[in-house]
Amino acid sequence: MLTITDEQVVYSLSPNNAPVAEAEPGETVIFYTKDCFSNQIQTEADLFEAVGWATINPATGPLAIKGARPGDTLVVYIEDIEIADQGCMVTVPGMGAAGDLIEKSETKIVPIKNGKAVFNEKISIPIRPMIGVIGTAPANDDIPCGTPGKHGGNMDTKLIGKGTTLYLPVWVEGALLAMGDLHAVMGDGEVSVTGVEIPGKVTVKVDLIKNKSEEWPVLETEESFYVIASAEDLDEASDFALKGMIQFLCKRTDMNMHEIVSLLSAVGNMEICQVVDPLKTVRMGISKNIMQNYNLKF
C-alpha cells in the first residue's frame, strides 16, 4: 500500500510543492503525521516557545492524484485514524480566544489510555480522533498550513474523522493532497488554539469527481452534508458557509430560493468549527435523512 512517512512534510499548501508520491483514483493511501509541534513537545517542561514557528503545523505530503485537474473534486474517504499514546496541549499568554487570561506559558501532557484522553485525575475524555489540517494546493498562493481556505487547510473541524468523506476542490494538476495536525479530541471553537495534539496514522481512499466542484470544501458524515467556509471573522465565515450550502442545494434539488432558505432556517445547522486560526471557520449542515427523497449526493 502507498505510504507517506512523517518525514515528508510541507509547511504550506502550494502549487510549487513537488509531490512525494502519486496515487491512482480509487487507491488507498496511508499518511503518517507528526503533531502540530513536529513532535517537539514530549514533557510538561517542553514549552511552546521552544518549538519555533518554522516547524509549526507540518502537513504530510503532498500526494498527487493521477488525472486530477482544476475544476475537479478530490474525494477523500477517511477509512481510519490511529493516534499515538500521548498528546499535548499548551496555553500561551495572548494566544487563543482566552489568551488574555493566561499568565504564563504552560504545557499539559495528555496520556491516551483505553480509548480515553486522561485530562487529569478526575476527567477522562472519550477520544474522537480528527484531522485538523487537510487540503489541496491552492491555485496560485502559497498558503501556510495554519490557515484555512477554499483549498481546505487548517479547518480544525472536529467532524473530519473516521468514516467521513471530504470533497475538496482541485485547483492544480494532481490536486496535491496533504494532511496533518491530528487531534485525539477537540471541542468546537478550539478555544485555547490546541486540541489534544497528537501524532498518528491516517488511512484514506482517494478518488476524483471530474469536472464538478463546489466553491468550498464539503464534508459528508453518516448523518449530514456540511459546507465548510473560512473568513476573517465569524460573521463573514457564516455567510460564506450558508451561501455555499444554498448553492449546493440549488444544484441538487428542484427547490426555489424561498424554499431552500426556509428549509435551512427550519433544519439547517450553522456551527462553529474554530475561532483561533488566522481565518475563522464555520460549517453549515443539512441532514441527509431530511433530504432522503432527493437522494442527496455530492
Q: Which is nearer to Ca ion, 62 or 132 (CB)?
A: 132
| Size of the chain, expressed as the number of residues it contains | 298
Site string for Ca ion, 132-151 (x = CB under 5 A): x-------------------
What is d(CA 241, CA 270) in angstroms, rounded to the nearest whole number? 8
DSSP 95-117: -STTGGG--S-EEEEEEEETTEE
User: Under a CB-based contact definition with an 8 Å cutoff, are residues 127 and 117 in contact?
Assistant: yes
The conformation of residue 51, written as its DSSP 8-state character, comes to T
Q: Which is nearer to Ca ion, 245 or 283 (CB)?
A: 283
Least distance from Ca ion to the Cβ atom of residue 154, Å = 5
Least distance from Ca ion to the Cβ atom of residue 197, Å = 5
Cα 118–124–130 angle (5° rounding)?
A: 80
Least distance from Ca ion to the Cβ atom of residue 120, Å = 20
Cell of 112: 491516551
What phi, psi does 236 have (nearest 5°)? Answer: -70, -40
Q: Which residue is nearest to Ca ion (CB)?
A: 132
Residues 205-224 that bind Ca ion (CB under 5 A): none
Cα 251–28–32 angle (5° rounding)?
A: 110
Stretch that binds Ca ion, among 1-9, 44-52, 64-72, 124-132 (CB under 5 A): 124-132
What is d(CA 178, CA 10) in angstroms, rounded to the nearest whole number? 8
Q: Which is nearer to Ca ion, 179 or 218 (CB)?
A: 179
Residues 151-190 that bind Ca ion (CB under 5 A): 154, 156, 181
Q: Which is nearer to Ca ion, 156 or 214 (CB)?
A: 156
Site string for Ca ion, 36-65 (x = CB under 5 A): x-----------------------------
Stretch that binds Ca ion, among 15-23, 88-96, 129-137, 172-180 (CB under 5 A): 129-137
Q: Which is nearer to Ca ion, 39 or 73 (CB)?
A: 39
The conformation of residue 292, written as its DSSP 8-state character, comes to G
Number of residues that bind Ca ion (CB under 5 A): 5
What is d(CA 190, CA 182) in angstroms, rounded to the nearest whole number? 13
Query: Cβ–Cβ contacts within 10 Å for residue 131, how many?
Result: 29
Q: Which is nearer to Ca ion, 8 or 157 (CB)?
A: 157
Least distance from Ca ion to the Cβ atom of residue 283, Å = 15
What is d(CA 13, CA 11) in angstroms, rounded to the nearest whole number? 7
Least distance from Ca ion to the Cβ atom of residue 11, Å = 13
The conformation of residue 19, written as its DSSP 8-state character, comes to P
Query: Under the criterion CB under 5 A, does residue 72 sit at the interface with Ca ion?
Result: no
Q: Which residues in this chain contact Ca ion in the complex, by CB under 5 A?
A: 36, 132, 154, 156, 181
